[in-house]
Structure 1
């Protein structure tokens, strides 16, 4: 409920689905155009550039 946008949530190191912290390495992969998975809720976070 606290996020406005999935991409902004991920770039803020927070999973938009469960609220867990996302590792900096995964955020960097996302910034590089890769899709990532949350290691807590297993939600697949697709990067649609």
Structure 2
């Protein structure tokens, strides 16, 4: 936007367009960050334990 509030450029990704109510690529970050805490509440994960992965 410029100083008058006019849109100078727009960019849409995937299935989004001017009428889209939200941007799904931003929403996934919130859900991804909540997943480990939900798993901990359900007893599926202990966040105090160290996770290791062998490659």
TM score, norm. by length of structure 1: 0.27
- Report which of the two has the higher share of helix: 2
Of structures 1 and 2, the one with the larger relative CO (CA 8 A, separation 6+) is: 1
- Larger Rg, first or second structure (1 or 2): 2
